[in-house]
Structure 1
């Protein structure tokens, strides 16, 4: 990471922070920027946005959006030239999500025997299991597994591969992940080997790639990405699913639920469940048409 890399932090009440996050998400010029939103201080009602711009244009755009919301305190900090992702995740506790237990190498001594254990270490891909969107997907999957099985599973935007690996370790015969980011695909395949999971990950642009479509139709599709691509991929996800198949969608804020849900209802899905964690939401939709 270069010396010019910065992090933008904004703090304020929940309603204002969620409105600011929604503004970031709706700006097409900031589609490549990464941010998170979470409750920092429950007693004081303080929510926090952490944004990581890719370039100077992102810095200006994000800072302008955040500062336009009265009630947010905004600061810009330089990031040290270090593996800050690995450093920050190395001290995170393991996560329990239904039957799934997500842990890093530093937690190997506390792994339970009666859980589906997923070893995911810090790396240059999203999806360690600590983020509310990933936990929401795992909780939704755990609930579905109590009454049905999924032979063929696709993970769109796989990141670390945690969701496809979870599917492989609970009996799915096909557990395929795809990502447009080549390092993520490499990391996901490494994680599959580390977890002795029969999951496979491919570099592909879109669900119409023959490497993806050739394994379908799928009984379950995970898509833990962002609200705009979830909307734009609604028809492709429908075509990738068998009739009666399930889509677990996340990467969206609670304020974006209506927009994403509407896109899928119009494609012949029904909403079965929504799971909320912090400001984030996971949607469980079934293809009925």
Structure 2
């Protein structure tokens, strides 16, 4: 099915949200609307809509003018079988002892690895992104050094691949939490696909605001593969939830942002154990002193 996109930018959160709300009244109706802040500190927001019919260019031009936005850029997207495309492009990934694969590559799993099945349609958190790959490699190094960093929490878990990786090598129940209920459903589905349902507690939570997380404190290892700003905001909570000697594996951090995150955690007594850059992304493995 052919789809169309209409994208624009403007300054400020409130005007962007107002424009997004106004787009809901368009005919033909958009099948989805997104309002996002650009992560460059400019204060510029992007507003976009997806359509299954060609959008009304005149109506979009009037909306842009009324809300002080740039003219919408309208594009027609070709018909694409996205799952087939993902299957072609997301080849299996080796991250230390861990081997991440889709069901279409089940025959490729080699001997002597810790396999993790992530379905192709669940593309976020497959290990192909430098952030997820960096976290898995950091976990592998901790385990190779003889640490059994329990209990484990995966905050902002997405597919829960990080919590599942910990469950592959250590005993006990891993907690995987996300603010998005859809992500929690995906996490549960992946746990089931990997035979880890009884080893994973998948919960919807904002940060550490959940009784199951509170009951498990202090943690030996906390994963947080999110973004710089929430990582810095969570620094006191993560530090407070760690055991003395416990680890925090953090990513979602652009290389040029890493020192700001390091500084925020150093104030809380959580300092660099090791770090790795993969492409434009840094993964920090920190330890509570």
TM-score norm. by structure 1 comes to: 0.74
The answer to whether the Cα contact below 8 Å between 2:86 and 2:123 also exists between their aligned partners in 1 is: no
Match of 2:41 among 26, 41, 47: 26
What is the rounded CA distance, in whole Å, between the counterparts of 2:164 and 2:77 in structure 1?
A: 32
From the superposition, tell whether residues 151 and 160 of structure 1 become closer, same or farther in structure 2 (CA, over 3 Å): same
The reply to whether residue 90 of structure 1 matches residue 90 of structure 2 is no
Which residue of structure 2 aligns with residue 175 of structure 1?
Answer: 174
The reply to whether residue 279 of structure 1 matches residue 276 of structure 2 is no
What is the rounded CA distance, in whole Å, between the counterparts of 1:126 and 1:87 in structure 2?
A: 16
From the superposition, tell whether residues 128 and 268 of structure 1 become closer, same or farther in structure 2 (CA, over 3 Å): same
The answer to whether the Cα contact below 8 Å between 1:234 and 1:263 also exists between their aligned partners in 2 is: yes
The answer to whether the Cα contact below 8 Å between 2:117 and 2:194 also exists between their aligned partners in 1 is: yes
User: CA shift at 1:96, angstroms?
Assistant: 0.3
From the superposition, tell whether residues 130 and 238 of structure 1 become closer, same or farther in structure 2 (CA, over 3 Å): same
2:169 aligned counterpart, secondary structure = coil
From the superposition, tell whether residues 285 and 187 of structure 1 become closer, same or farther in structure 2 (CA, over 3 Å): same
Which residue of structure 2 aligns with residue 122 of structure 1?
Answer: 120
User: CA shift at 1:196, angstroms?
Assistant: 1.1
TM-score norm. by structure 2 comes to: 0.74
Q: Give 5+ residue unaligned stretches, structure 2.
A: 9-37, 51-63, 65-72
Which residue of structure 1 aligns with residue 188 of structure 2?
Answer: 189
Write the deviation string for residues 85-141 of structure 1: whole angstroms up to 9, x where unpaired. Answer: x34421121000000000001111110120000000133562011111000000000
Q: CA RMSD in A?
A: 2.8
Map 1:22-61 → 2, pairs under 5 A: 24-27=39-42
Which residue of structure 2 aligns with residue 14 of structure 1?
Answer: none
The answer to whether the Cα contact below 8 Å between 1:150 and 1:219 also exists between their aligned partners in 2 is: yes
Q: Give 5+ residue unaligned stretches, structure 1.
A: 9-22, 34-52, 61-74
The answer to whether the Cα contact below 8 Å between 1:176 and 1:199 also exists between their aligned partners in 2 is: yes
What is the rounded CA distance, in whole Å, between the counterparts of 1:173 and 1:232 in structure 2?
A: 29
From the superposition, tell whether residues 77 and 142 of structure 1 become closer, same or farther in structure 2 (CA, over 3 Å): farther
